[in-house]
Amino acid sequence: MAENKEKARERVREIASEHYRRGDVTGWFEALYAEADGDNSIIPWADLEPNRFFKSWAESTGLKGEGRTALVVGCGLGDDAKYLHDLGFKVTAFDISPTAIEWAKRLYGEDDIRFEARDLFHPPQSWNFTQTGEAKTGGFDFVLEIYTIQPLPIDMREQVVDAIGDFVAEGGTLVVVTRGRGDDEEPDELPWPMSRRDLSRFESCGLSQTHFVVMPADEEGEPPRFVVEYTRR
Ligand SMILES: C[S@@+](CC[C@H](N)C(=O)[O-])C[C@H]1O[C@@H](n2cnc3c(N)ncnc32)[C@H](O)[C@@H]1O
Q: What's 121's DSSP letter?
A: T
Residue 26, ligand 1, Cβ within 6 A:
yes
CA–CA separation, 32 vs 99, rounded Å? 9
Correct CATH for 48-231 of 1.10.10.10, 3.90.740.10, 3.30.428.10, 3.40.50.150: 3.40.50.150
The confidence score (pLDDT) of residue 5 equals 85
Could you tell me if 190 and 216 are in contact, meaning their C-beta atoms sit under 8 angstroms apart?
A: no
The SS3 of residue 196 is helix
- How do residues 57-84 score in pLDDT, each as one tens digit? 999 999 999 999 999 999 999 999 999 9
**pLDDT(1) > 70:** no
- Domain borders along the chain are 48-231
Distance CA 179, CA 168 (A): 22
Among the atoms of ligand 1, which is closest to the Cα of residue 146? Answer: 6
Nearest CA to ligand 1 atom 12: 74
pTM for this model (two decimals): 0.96
CA-closest residue to ligand 1 atom 10:
148
pLDDT at 133 over 70: no
